[in-house]
Amino acid sequence: MNIILFGPPGAGKGTQAEKMISHYNLPHLSTGNIFRENIKNKTELGKKVTLILDAGKLVPDETVVELVTDELKKEKYKSGVIFDGFPRTVKQAEELDTYLQANGENIDTFITLNVPEQELIDRILSRGQGRSDDTPEKIKTRLQVYRDETEPVLNHYKNKDVVKEIDGVGTIEEIFERITSALS
């Protein structure tokens, strides 16, 4: 089962992905985690990504797609995957679809977490990850970039009739219950 977990920054994708990993016994592919690992280890990709993220921008499609398709070749993804933070643009979605189809697969479900903007801002400010772009101004920039560049991915998958919209407000357990109900 290939699942995309989707939503704006602060929607709770990472939190819900962790619960889904255990529940569905699927590996988690988070571009954010891959980027953070590279940033922490000060790799060339990490340095490049830091400059882009510090400006509140998105990493270029080519870099992200190359990273993800390379990761998907690993044995652990053969039975499916939970994508978190990918795809972020329609171009990435199209490239992912092409890659999966070439391997006899597709996206089974696209789960989008709907959360009001002020709730997103409050969550990001309170999570204390210490990202250099976790200020109210930079968060608003990230949310605008999300609306402009990432939200169209939702329509791409609506056209494929695989989208499940989930209310992303409530306790972690309430939101997880909504996700498992939508997937059953």
Q: pLDDT per residue over 116-152, tens digit each?
A: 988 988 888 887 665 666 788 888 888 888 888 888 9
pLDDT of residue 63 exceeding 90: no
**Rounded to an integer, what distance in angstroms lies between the CA atom of residue 18 and that of residue 63?**
25
Provide mean pLDDT across the span 103-125.
92
On the CB side of 171, how many CA atoms lie within 13 Å of its CA?
A: 3
pLDDT confidence of residue 77 = 93
Inter-residue contact 19 to 125 (CB < 8 Å): no
Tens digits of residue pLDDT in 22-49: 999 999 998 878 788 878 989 887 888 8
Confidence band (pLDDT; 50, 70, 90) for 176?
Answer: very high
- pLDDT for the residue numbered 48: 84
The domains of the chain, with CATH numbers, are 2-176 (3.40.50.300)
Give the model's pLDDT for residue 128. Answer: 63
Average pLDDT, the chain: 89
Better pLDDT: 55 or 32: 55
pLDDT band at 167 (very low <50, low <70, confident <90, very high): very high
Instruction: State residue 24's pLDDT score.
Output: 94
More confident residue, 91 or 140: 91
Q: What is the pLDDT of residue 169?
A: 95
